Structure 1
Amino acid sequence: MDVDQRRWRQCLLSGAVFAVCMAGTTLPTPLYGLYREKFGFSELTVTVVYAVYAFAVIGVLLLAGNVSDVVGRRPVLLWGLACAAASAVCFLCAVGMGWLYAGRLLSGLSAGLFTGAATAYVMDTAPHVGASRATFVATAANMGGLGCGPLLAGVLAQYAAWPLYLPFAVHLALVAVAAVVLLRLPETVREPRPLSTVRPQRPGVPPQVRAVFVPAGIASFVGFALFGVFTSVSPEFLAESLDVENHAVSGLVVALAFFASTAGQLATGRVGVGRSLPLGCAGLLVGLALLAGALRWDLLWLVVLSALVGGCGQGLAFRGALAAVAEASPTDRRAAVISTLFVVAYTGISLPVIGVGLLTGPMGLEGAGLVFIACMAVLVSTAGVYLLRRPVGAGARA
């Protein structure tokens, strides 16, 4: 096996570890209805539980977004897997709401540790001539893993025993396998330093990256906002408004959005970074319109179409944003800058989700969803016009 083949093997294995960790973060999505029956909480509580995860991610990215640049990639990823395992244990032991909050908090910590470090690690392990493919492996592992979580949980909850326990037991086993794989992969930071040398850094990017980062951040915010609301409230909408009680179907609908995102990321290599960002915004706008129609007329096929079109738009925008930002970032600050991009993205997940949860009580799920769609449509339209007038990333490789 030559050097390039060995490095591609390492790149794909690190991407698989990335996907396993991210799958755990969306595993509870189709199970919230069962938890509501068990613990008797409201739709607002569902969005708060989801937001706890997002705030944990943001906290880690803010405080330790640069830690893998200092101590090395592998130690940070091992800590992330440890948090993922602890999260699965919390759900396995859940006898009250406190366990759910703890599980989501630990899941957020795992995602926060993995997001910047694993993306940089996948890029580090790839051959130098494969930057474009490595970016796709990283983003596909992220979104593909997020999609596999609800699909796995939905299928197991519907067709196997112990619906609130088996999905987390399976994921715990996968995390153990991922840890073994990671221990066999090399460290890519040439001169790791002790953890004591790490200093928390405020959000920010080097001056040469800022012109690229602003529009990339806008596109990422809107895309993740759509995913956040879709994953937190769509299972409830399917059950209440469309009488879809099958957990596998509910998990599949959510998974389709993430899988479509992976397809959109693959298309970015063909259309180019400069065009993928405005095209992604257009896809998000159409996806929002389809979701509005689904909420208004209670049509399942519009929900599915919204997941596919909106997911594809998110993938185009997100991979284009990541490629442009990574290309513009200095190598020794790549993980830190990528982490800052994800802070913006996960802010998009958390704040709109909480807003929808607060509005659901007085306005109902349909009304709250339509308000969210209107706000995001204005934002994504503004971002799209900005990107058309000031294209970025034309020189970056997707």
Structure 2
Amino acid sequence: MDGDRRRWRQCVLSGAVFAVCMTGTTLPTPLYGLYQEKFSFSELTVTVVYAVYAFAVIGVLLLAGDASDSLGRRPVLLAGLGCAAGSAVCFLSATGLPWLYAGRLLSGLSAGLFTGAATAYVLELAPEGAKARATFVATAANMGGLGCGPLLAGLLAQFAPWPLYLPFAVHLALVAASAAVLWRLPETVRERKPLSSVRPQRPSLPPPVRPVFAPAAIASFVGFALFGVFTSVSPAFLSESLGVRDHAVSGLVVALAFFSSTAGQLAVGRFGVARSLPLGCAGLLGGLALLAGALRWDLLVLVVLSALVGGCGQGLAFRAALSAVAGASPQERRAAVISALFVVAYCGISVPVIGVGLLVGPVGLEGAGLVFIACMAVLVSAAGAYLLRRPVRTG
């Protein structure tokens, strides 16, 4: 019993470290408007700055997604915290657009190092027989951390001095505390290999994972695409179309989507993985419909409802996808397989966002958003229909 309590404490602490890292990746979200005023760049540039982060994540996952399987979880996670600290320093030093690109690049490297390794680490630190709850800790740390970023930055920007500096100084202190916590946690990889063993590999899936990966990846792509648009362009929509210039409100609206994702993840235990994936797709479709209404009629209440409904749908789909994929993966390939799932997810969070940015000029923010919603609605409807016909089998 004492051993189980100790392992749960370690599991939760590793989840907290995970959350701190992910907080830094969304910290600039409510501040982009201030950066636009300071450095005079367009809405397209905002989406490119945002996408630099996502492409950095994808690059790390493709080149070193299985690094922690060989080197150990802790060394990779400590390197991720180092990149997170470097990102904060770039934003604290920002005197022009190149600093923002550098900060987002380092933030993407930190997230890329963390996503697969930290998820596997949380699962491995949990007591035996607690995989379901440990999966919730990992996904809640991921999405909860992403939600804390805009909320923290929005509150500090609205109610505290130095809005472009204080959020990053606070995060830098949290990263330092996280490194101290991580240093005291145990390593879970028993057979560690030298750095020379880590080489870029062509993405591949072990045979037991292949039947569950495709539908899990489809659901993850759409959910992250919705979050990508929320995170990158919703502050501009709130400001330009709804006249909401309160940074705290802007940060809260974005945070609601991520916090609702955590609530949706809780429901997976009740519905089960097989039913949660199509239900999550239905929630995403509802969130997209509400966002379309918000863009068409300029209603803040529909933006909030879109964040709540779409966030719950994403949480259902994402936790179910992660549970199915992690459960089917051999332990020695788990981080690599989880990283492959996140590659697909981060394609969803980057490519559609750039598309929206490119369309803002010719058709405006509302038109670009509606085109995005139509494309994602077709994709999520097809995914939901596929999952109803061929439910994911986890046993």
**Which category describes the TM-score, using the shorter chain as reference length?**
over 0.9
Confirm or deny that 1:176 pairs with 2:182.
Answer: no
Stretch of structure 1 that moved more, 371-380 or 187-196? 187-196
Tell me the distance in 2 between the aligned counterparts of 1:199 and 1:372. Answer: 36
| Residues 322-345 of structure 1: CA deviation (Å, up to 9, x unaligned) | 000001111100000000000000
Q: Which amino acid aligns with 1:302?
A: L
Tell me the distance in 2 between the aligned counterparts of 1:59 and 1:202. Answer: 12
Tell me the distance in 1 between the aligned counterparts of 2:316 and 2:242. Answer: 30
Aligned to 1:377: 377
Aligned to 1:218: 218
| Residues 237-277 of structure 1: CA deviation (Å, up to 9, x unaligned) | 00000000000000000000000000000100110000000
**Percent identity of the aligned residues?**
83
Conserved 8 A contact 2:328-2:394: no
Confirm or deny that 1:270 pairs with 2:266.
Answer: no
Aligned to 2:287: 287
Tell me the SS of whatever aligns to 1:208.
coil
Aligned to 2:306: 306
Stretch of structure 1 that moved more, 193-202 or 150-159? 193-202
Aligned to 1:364: 364
Tell me the distance in 2 between the aligned counterparts of 1:243 and 1:207. Answer: 52
C-alpha displacement of 1:40: 0.5
| Residues 205-259 of structure 1: CA deviation (Å, up to 9, x unaligned) | 1122111000000000000000001110000000000000000000000000000
Tell me the distance in 2 between the aligned counterparts of 1:326 and 1:161. Answer: 44
- Where does 1:84-233 land on structure 2 (aligned, <5 Å)? 84-233=84-233
Tell me the SS of whatever aligns to 2:383.
helix
Tell me the distance in 2 between the aligned counterparts of 1:192 and 1:281. Answer: 39
Q: Which amino acid aligns with 1:21?
A: C
| Residues 164-186 of structure 1: CA deviation (Å, up to 9, x unaligned) | 00000000000000000000000
Tell me the distance in 2 between the aligned counterparts of 1:364 and 1:326. Answer: 41
Stretch of structure 1 that moved more, 294-303 or 197-206? 197-206
Tell me the distance in 2 between the aligned counterparts of 1:22 and 1:202. Answer: 26
Tell me the distance in 2 between the aligned counterparts of 1:393 and 1:115. Answer: 24
Conserved 8 A contact 1:272-1:394: no
Conserved 8 A contact 2:69-2:333: yes
Tell me the distance in 2 between the aligned counterparts of 1:213 and 1:207. Answer: 10
Aligned to 2:71: 71
For normalisation by structure 1, the TM-score amounts to 0.99
Tell me the distance in 2 between the aligned counterparts of 1:385 and 1:342. Answer: 23
Conserved 8 A contact 2:281-2:313: yes
Aligned to 1:7: 7
Conserved 8 A contact 1:21-1:145: yes
| Residues 112-158 of structure 1: CA deviation (Å, up to 9, x unaligned) | 00000000000010011110100000000000000000000000000
| Residues 59-91 of structure 1: CA deviation (Å, up to 9, x unaligned) | 000000000000000000000000000000000
Tell me the distance in 1 between the aligned counterparts of 2:6 and 2:264. Answer: 28
Tell me the distance in 1 between the aligned counterparts of 2:184 and 2:394. Answer: 37
Aligned to 1:37: 37
Tell me the distance in 2 between the aligned counterparts of 1:355 and 1:62. Answer: 23
Unaligned runs of 5+ in 2: none
Tell me the distance in 1 between the aligned counterparts of 2:293 and 2:37. Answer: 29
Tell me the distance in 2 between the aligned counterparts of 1:90 and 1:202. Answer: 32
Tell me the distance in 1 between the aligned counterparts of 2:356 and 2:23. Answer: 24
Tell me the distance in 2 between the aligned counterparts of 1:251 and 1:202. Answer: 38
Tell me the SS of whatever aligns to 1:75.
helix
Conserved 8 A contact 2:327-2:394: no
C-alpha displacement of 1:394: 4.2
Aligned to 1:24: 24
C-alpha displacement of 1:366: 0.1
Tell me the distance in 2 between the aligned counterparts of 1:78 and 1:201. Answer: 23
C-alpha displacement of 1:393: 3.5
Tell me the distance in 2 between the aligned counterparts of 1:81 and 1:169. Answer: 14
Unaligned runs of 5+ in 1: none
C-alpha displacement of 1:15: 0.1
Conserved 8 A contact 2:58-2:347: yes
Tell me the distance in 2 between the aligned counterparts of 1:359 and 1:4. Answer: 53
How many residues in Structure 1 have an aligned counterpart in Structure 2? 395
Q: Which amino acid aligns with 1:216?
A: A
Aligned to 1:336: 336
Aligned to 1:49: 49
Q: Which amino acid aligns with 1:246?
A: D
Conserved 8 A contact 1:292-1:373: yes
Tell me the distance in 1 between the aligned counterparts of 2:304 and 2:204. Answer: 37
Q: Which amino acid aligns with 2:92?
A: L
